[in-house]
Copies of this chain bind each other. A is one copy, B any other.
Amino acid sequence: MKRGKAKSQVVTMRDVAKESGFSSATVSIVLNNAPLARYIAPATKERIEKTAKRLGYRPNVMARFLRSQRSHTVGVMFFDVLDPFCTPTLRGIENALFSTSCLPFFADAQNQRNRFERYLEMLLERHVEALIVVANWLFVDINLLADLSKRNIPVVTIGWEVANETVSSVMVDNEAGARLALEHLYLLGHRKIAFIRGPKAIIDSAPRWKGVQKFAQGAGLEIDPGLVAELPDVFDTYSGFEAGYRLTQELLGRKKRFTAVLAFDDLTAFGALRALTKAGIKVPEQCSVIGFDDIAPAALAAPALTTVRQPLEAMGALAVSIVMDGINAATEKRAAPVVHRRSTPELVVRESTRPAAGRGSGD
């Protein structure tokens, strides 16, 4: 009944229609520049557009969804957004999404499975057109994600790969990255190198170690098992730091000389850095340290950390382009191809590495 203007500050299409003197069908056609707009008189168009602007009309995405079945919305789910890995990835996703006029829903599982599931539910209730999962370690039932794909909702994971035929993924080329890191140390003359391997449960660990082994083999570098440590499978956000610290102390305790540490990731490297510093060993003068990831603190540390950079922003953008392809495929009733992309890591040389001390320690 009473359409009180008291309540409704929101301008609807009907308001524009009434005000401009045309039907809402015409208004719809004009404002959306639909195919039929070809046949609308220019004067009409102009009048409608002007009143729309004057009234401050804004299309209602939700009402539109009811007809078009398009929500112009995607879900972005993090396993743990506090992981420094996530922020640049998020930036990359946001940036790429911006030009598609899709808006992302933000969800953070906080490494809890039930939160993950609840968020999946909420995302589904809101009919996201795609889902991007930024993953680090938590293990989620693959079927949950596969279910989405079956509903024709494209899913892509970043930093984690599902052994599954229905979910796309974007990961850095871990093997190449590890090779880059070791090669760097090798070219600086380091031969006694300590390694802190990643936890078994993390998917990146194996390929990184493989990269190390392959390079070592090719270069004739011997990996001393006495200089190899491995991170345990515990996953608080910053556990890598603590563990890196502890393992480096332990390595130091073994009384085997080493002139460089190759850490699983930057967090571990920071832990190593602190342990070395505490032990009175100067980095990089007496020992070099190299990390992996290039998270923000790497550039801030003193000494600034040499590391292998994951192109996280680009990976985020890549993920967006993959799901967008999927959305377009779905719209055109084509099957969305599932792809697994590998991005190329890059060596970033800063201050924590330098040529192996001539004589003095090594050899």
Q: Hey, which bits of chain A sit against chain B, CB under 8 A?
A: 9-10, 58-63, 65-66, 71, 73, 76, 81-82, 84, 86-88, 90-91, 94-95, 98, 101, 103-108, 110, 115, 118, 121-127, 150-152, 238, 241, 267, 270, 273-274, 277, 296-297, 299-304
8 examples of A-B residue contacts, CB within 8 angstroms: A9-B151, A10-B127, A91-B108, A94-B108, A104-B106, A105-B105, A106-B106, A277-B303
Name the residue of chain B whose CB is nearest to the CB of A273.
B302
The reply to whether A66 and B58 contact each other, CB–CB distance below 8 Å, is: no
Interface contacts beyond A58-B125, A62-B126, A297-B300: sample of 15 additional A-B pairs, CB < 8 Å, sorted by A: A10-B127, A60-B125, A81-B90, A82-B88, A90-B106, A95-B108, A98-B115, A103-B107, A238-B299, A238-B300, A241-B299, A270-B300, A274-B302, A274-B304, A301-B301
CA distance A103 to B62 in the complex (A): 15
Q: Which 6 A-B residue pairs are closest in the complex by CB-CB distance?
A: A297-B297, A62-B62, A106-B106, A270-B300, A274-B302, A277-B302
Collect the chain B residues with CB atoms within 8 Å of residue A101's CB.
Answer: 122
CB distance from A66 to the nearest CB of B (A): 6
The reply to whether A62 and B58 contact each other, CB–CB distance below 8 Å, is: no
Copies of this chain: 2
The reply to whether A59 and B103 contact each other, CB–CB distance below 8 Å, is: no
CB distance from A315 to the nearest CB of B (A): 15
Collect the chain B residues with CB atoms within 8 Å of residue A9's CB.
Answer: 150-152
The reply to whether B81 and A94 contact each other, CB–CB distance below 8 Å, is: yes
Collect the chain B residues with CB atoms within 8 Å of residue A238's CB.
Answer: 296, 299-300
CA distance A277 to B76 in the complex (A): 41
Collect the chain B residues with CB atoms within 8 Å of residue A88's CB.
Answer: 82
CB distance from A119 to the nearest CB of B (A): 8
CA distance A107 to B122 in the complex (A): 19
**Cβ-neighbour of A61 out of B58, B125, B296, B302 (below 8 A):** B125
**Cβ-neighbour of A126 out of B61, B66, B150 (below 8 A):** B61
The reply to whether B103 and A126 contact each other, CB–CB distance below 8 Å, is: yes
CA distance A66 to B61 in the complex (A): 11
